[in-house]
Structure 1
């Protein structure tokens, strides 16, 4: 018996900005968890995929994917048909009134596109959908809000990082007032959003966590590299998109400050425009020590973690407020037994405890970052001890399955047979009273 056969379980439309995306493993992991819990769902994507690779997890997700018009002028007849049907819906006038209020404060093409996409979604969603659930509080939540109003459906949201800190307060307040509930992945986010909400009880902490079954239970015995052997350098790994908030220019400048007799190799995995960072490494005189591997799937990232000695992520807050929340790659590295060097921003200190499972430095501080890197490179025993501590912390506090049970409860089920989502798709559920 699955939840699809039980009264009271939501049939969910999951609104995402793009699907599938290599940089959003946590969303794919959650969707698979929803599928395995037996919750009926379909994915509604505002954009078509652009990544050339897919994670293995995407191959296990079997739900329907509806792609909305990415640009309204590309599919004018579809947009017109959506409007023609949406205008007859009982909540259409209320949705339009909300949109006009928003447009008065945000006169952008993007705001118009959100309305057009919402009309198409409202018109095309199957009749059995009972809830709309958006990932990210900015654009996807706008489409979810307008569409839910048109269809007179309840809606909810999962908020993350950039969507919170680059959205205007007025818009977040109004969305929080309109939705049933919101989950977000860090305590820092919870505190920020509770301060904006009329009803703070709507805002709840839900760590993304990791599905441990996708990771090796053991990691290889790492050589005690200490940077003294030019033929066996310490391998420093970083995984992240080559965008400003990841601080890769800060990291490269910190690496340039390391002593010349210290031997290391920098491996980067992630998409983005790498030319300027490669040029910076060339300018700083150590391009030959860098291995720019580009986008990789999760299995390849795990393999790289297994080979590395140290993980580093120099996250920072950008001028527009954009920042990391709690990057999944930090959890993945820790689960693979890697000590981490990172920065004291957002929720990173919720995972990395300075001196316990890694070292934390102030953001944008190249000198402090260089000192921390040198300390870790030269002390393999410390790295190994911190890596073990990190693995213990992730396994204790950041299990995906605990969060998935909570999310399942919000969608109307309680899993009773299995404490964990497994590789099968059969999990018995009971109605949430």
Structure 2
């Protein structure tokens, strides 16, 4: 590692965001290897709960104010340009681009450009190919800096994604990271002219925070954990139906689902209608520490993801990696990057999406012989240690910023 590393400006839509634990893990890993980061948050966080790992992030956070009216937007442009001829020239040069962007994003971009110059930032990186990357791209053009971004799932798969806009972001970027081989192949197919800029870097875990534990038989109901936002792509309606089927089979089960979201009331109604109130608990949002307790409690972890009707889909859920690291037998569906980690019968059970019967059968098999999954859980832990250590992730990201070649080994 070089003795002097470039200062990185992280552009994110909201920081901190309760559901985006991967951003915090990434920052911690980069700081651990000596990188200096500054966070630019485009919106104030509305989350009322925070993960304790946030306290370990040393990077200062700059929350950018939203312009209240058109006159304040022009004042922000003038303020950013004042006293910095590079930014002033950049605003003049990029004015056509700035005028095409939403006003708030244009103002955020020139503010980030000026702050980046003032703070000595040498590279901008955004998470998600949507708003944050719009700002990072424009700020980089104004300030004359390279930028990169990480593409995840909704930002590239949703049917509202503007292909021309995404293509411009890819074409202008120094490099682009995405979180699975599936995403990588999809983006390279859709944007062949930018294929050389695209790289797969898996989201990493601080593996020591997820100690492995074998699951001994305990003679009680099958304890099932699930974690995720209560939205269509998580497939939790299929889990409710699978648990209803288990009841018909006489299989005792207890489910705890951690997460909040727009489908809470609908899922709660499904649970009541299926007569599962005493067996299926909606816990609401939980901190990372509480999720670790849930993973330690469970006999099996279920991730029944589906592709939504709007094209939205999971990328590679971080909590699935955490469950694999912790020794929980994992059942997951064949959506996007999930088959890269859930190798059927080897590291877990890979099931067809939107198939509650297959999920019920897999849960029944675990209930009938919980020890049979032990070999799979040990293989899963070994895979996480090999390919999903956040220290390795940070090293790969640093190699990309430096312009070096990145060895993209598939999961073995």
Picking from 193, 196, 204, the partner of 1:198 is: 193
Counterparts of 1:246 and 1:204, CA distance in 2:
26
Equivalent residue, structure 2, for 1:144: 136
Equivalent residue, structure 2, for 1:186: 180
Preserved CA contact (<8 Å) 1:250 1:364: yes
CA pair 377-93 structure 1, distance change in 2 beyond 3 A: farther
The 3-state SS of whatever aligns with 2:9 is: strand
The 3-state SS of whatever aligns with 1:140 is: helix
Equivalent positions of 1:283-298 (< 5 A) are: 283-298=273-288
Preserved CA contact (<8 Å) 2:203 2:388: yes
TM-score, normalised via structure 2 length = 0.89
Counterparts of 2:103 and 2:310, CA distance in 1:
22
Q: Across the two proteins, how many residue pairs are aligned to each other?
A: 393
Equivalent positions of 1:309-388 (< 5 A) are: 309-388=299-378
Residues 73-122 of structure 1 deviation map (CA, whole Å, 9 limit, x = unaligned): 2x77764432113466222244332345x55xxxxxxx333222212322
Counterparts of 2:310 and 2:91, CA distance in 1:
34
Equivalent residue, structure 2, for 1:28: 24
RMSD between superposed Cα atoms in Å? 2.2
The 3-state SS of whatever aligns with 1:137 is: coil
Gaps of 5+ in 2: 82-86, 405-412
Residues 243-282 of structure 1 deviation map (CA, whole Å, 9 limit, x = unaligned): 1111111211221122341101001111224222112100
The 3-state SS of whatever aligns with 2:301 is: strand
TM-score, normalised via structure 1 length = 0.85
The 3-state SS of whatever aligns with 1:173 is: helix
Equivalent residue, structure 1, for 2:382: 392
Give the deviation of 1:23 after TM superposition.
Answer: 1.2
Equivalent residue, structure 2, for 1:82: 76
Gaps of 5+ in 1: 104-110, 415-433
Equivalent residue, structure 2, for 1:107: none
Matched, 1:15 2:1: no
Equivalent positions of 1:20-419 (< 5 A) are: 20-69=16-65, 71-73=66-68, 79-86=73-80, 89-100=88-99, 111-125=102-116, 126-166=118-158, 167-195=161-189, 196-216=191-211, 218-219=212-213, 221-225=214-218, 232-258=220-246, 259-273=248-262, 274-412=264-402
Give the deviation of 1:297 after TM superposition.
Answer: 1.5
Preserved CA contact (<8 Å) 1:82 1:122: no
CA pair 72-379 structure 1, distance change in 2 beyond 3 A: farther
Counterparts of 1:322 and 1:383, CA distance in 2:
31
Residues 296-334 of structure 1 deviation map (CA, whole Å, 9 limit, x = unaligned): 221211121111100001111112221111101111001
The 3-state SS of whatever aligns with 1:333 is: helix
Counterparts of 1:198 and 1:89, CA distance in 2:
32
CA pair 99-371 structure 1, distance change in 2 beyond 3 A: farther
Counterparts of 1:394 and 1:297, CA distance in 2:
21
Give the deviation of 1:412 after TM superposition.
Answer: 3.8
Give the deviation of 1:223 after TM superposition.
Answer: 3.2
Give the deviation of 1:385 after TM superposition.
Answer: 2.6
